């Protein structure tokens, strides 16, 4: 199917079937009760690579904490990360925060309503730009996510690899041809809803699909083999050694991660990629100037799987006595905190598991 053939494709029938189905079957989601572009924006960022059911409680809490672009712009980044804690892909939160500040300063708090300006905001790519323009401003712009690519490749029997950028662009061109000019917001949401509820990755419910008669994959019986997607490399394993250090006051040592890279700006327990205790003892000596007395027993093992990485973490406990006057934790990434204050700091889930066992569980 190319763009020329698409001109003869019955797009209006498709729109009618799809929009009617959507009106009858759409889920009642918090952001669907809103037209505030800021709130639509927040929901779209949260929904990147994240399931609706996971997002809902985060969205509710986030909006109550930061009800407007102004409120979010005025918040501390650590507060924003804390609100995002556990949701993953933390650069989304940092980019959203930076972009909202820009909207406040450059656009007077008004989310831009055109492709050029909105696409310039940090964290707003082709999908999110189209989603905000269509859903918040009812502008007929394509919003092509994984759902839409799955639906369209099946509908039009496309064997293009959806992991390629060129395929996404091709599908955007197709959507521009078939989108409802009268109801672009509902059209885009309906396509995604169809992908989420009917045209699922496995076992699609073709028998109750509102557009089954227009689906070429269904016609050929190959709906389960689409879309084509290149396989990703297996995640690489890293053996880590983490340390829960207490001082004489019973405070716990935590460390802020670097401002770029994996889990940027989140907090953690000091750790090294190694498999022997000497490595972490030396690390503490060199980076924090702390002489730590480490208990040789492994207190906990944490396995955490990322998209491209697997952490196998052996967790040890340790204590420090007095430390020299030259030790200046104030200006380093390290910090001793009271146990009851640790909840104020954003931690990745892997280290929340350590908090639960080693700090809250109190061995």
Partner DNA sequence: AAGCCGGGGCT
Partner DNA sequence: AGCCCAGGCTT
Interface positions with DNA (CB under 7 A): 29, 32, 43-44, 47-54, 86-91, 95, 122-129, 131, 145-147, 150, 164-166, 189, 192-193, 195-196, 201-203, 229, 231, 233-234, 261-264, 304-309, 348-350
The CB-of-116 to DNA minimum distance in angstroms stands at: 14
Gap between the Cα atoms of 139 and 117, Å rounded: 14
Cβ neighbours, 10 Å, residue 345: 19
Residue 215 CB, shortest distance to DNA, in Å, is 17
Q: How is residue 34 written in tokens?
A: 């809103």
Strands 309-319 and 236-246: parallel
* Length, in residues, of the chain: 363
**Considering 4, 5, 8, 44, which one is annotated as catalytic?**
44
CA 153 to chain centre: 24
Residue 22 phi, psi (nearest 5): -65, -45
- Please list the residues that pair with 339 across neighbouring strands: none
- Beta strand 236-246 with 271-273 is antiparallel
Q: Which is nearer to DNA, 245 or 313 (CB)?
A: 313
Closest distance of CB 59 from DNA, Å = 10
User: Which two three-digit tokens encode residue 269?
Assistant: 């327990």
Q: How far is the CB of 105 from DNA (least distance, A)?
A: 18
DSSP conformation class of 199: S
Q: Taking a C-beta distance cutoff of 8 angstroms, is the pair 226, 153 a contact?
A: yes
Q: How far is the CB of 110 from DNA (least distance, A)?
A: 20
Give 131 or 178: the residue with its C-beta nearer to DNA: 131
Task: Judge whether 44 counts as a catalytic residue.
Answer: yes
Of 1 and 264, which CB lies nearer to DNA in the complex structure?
264
* Nearest to DNA of 129, 320 (CB atom): 129
- SS3 of residue 341 by DSSP: helix
CB of 55 to DNA, least distance (A): 8
Closest CB to DNA among 216 and 304?
A: 304
Choose between 295 and 357: whose C-beta lies nearer to DNA: 357
Please answer whether residues 313 and 302 qualify as being in contact, where contact means their C-beta atoms are separated by less than 8 angstroms. Answer: yes
For residue 96, give the nearest of 127, 128, 53 by alpha carbon.
128
CB 195 within 8 A of CB 147: yes
The owner of tokens 């929340």 is: 352
Catalytic sites, residue numbers: 44
């Amino acid at each position: 199917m190319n763009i020329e053939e698409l001109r003869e494709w019955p797009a209006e029938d498709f729109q009618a079937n799809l929009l009617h189905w959507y009106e009858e079957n759409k889920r009642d989601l918090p952001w669907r009760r809103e037209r505030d572009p800021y709130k639509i924006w927040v929901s779209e960022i949260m929904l990147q690579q994240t399931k609706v059911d996971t997002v809902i409680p985060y969205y509710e809490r986030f909006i109550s904490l930061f009800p407007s672009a102004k409120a979010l712009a005025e918040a501390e980044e650590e507060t924003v990360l804390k609100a995002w804690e556990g949701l993953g892909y933390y650069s989304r939160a940092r980019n959203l925060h930076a972009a909202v500040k820009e909207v406040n300063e450059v656009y007077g708090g008004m989310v831009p309503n055109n492709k050029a300006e909105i696409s310039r905001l940090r964290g707003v790519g082709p999908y999110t730009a189209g989603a905000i323009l269509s859903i918040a401003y009812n502008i007929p712009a394509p919003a092509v996510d994984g759902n839409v690519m799955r639906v369209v490749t099946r509908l039009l029997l496309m064997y293009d690899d959806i992991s390629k950028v060129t395929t996404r662009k091709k599908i955007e061109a197709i959507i521009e041809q078939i989108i409802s000019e009268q109801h672009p917001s509902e059209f885009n949401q309906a396509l995604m809803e169809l992908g989420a509820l009917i045209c699922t990755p496995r076992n699609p419910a073709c028998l109750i699909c509102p557009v089954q008669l227009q689906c070429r994959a269904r016609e050929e019986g190959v709906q389960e083999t689409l879309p084509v997607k290149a396989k990703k490399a297996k995640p690489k394993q890293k053996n880590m050694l983490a340390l829960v250090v207490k001082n004489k006051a019973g405070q716990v040592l935590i460390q802020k991660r670097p401002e770029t890279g994996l889990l940027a700006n989140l907090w953690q327990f000091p750790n090294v990629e190694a498999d022997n205790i000497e490595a972490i003892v030396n690390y503490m000596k060199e980076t924090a100037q702390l002489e730590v007395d480490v208990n040789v027993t492994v207190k906990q093992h944490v396995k955490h799987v990322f998209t491209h990485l697997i952490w196998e973490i052996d967790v040890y406990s340790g204590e420090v006595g007095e430390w020299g006057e030259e030790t200046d934790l104030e200006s380093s990434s390290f910090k001793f905190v009271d146990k009851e204050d640790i909840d104020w700091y954003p931690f990745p889930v892997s280290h929340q598991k350590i908090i639960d066992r080693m700090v809250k569980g109190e061995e």
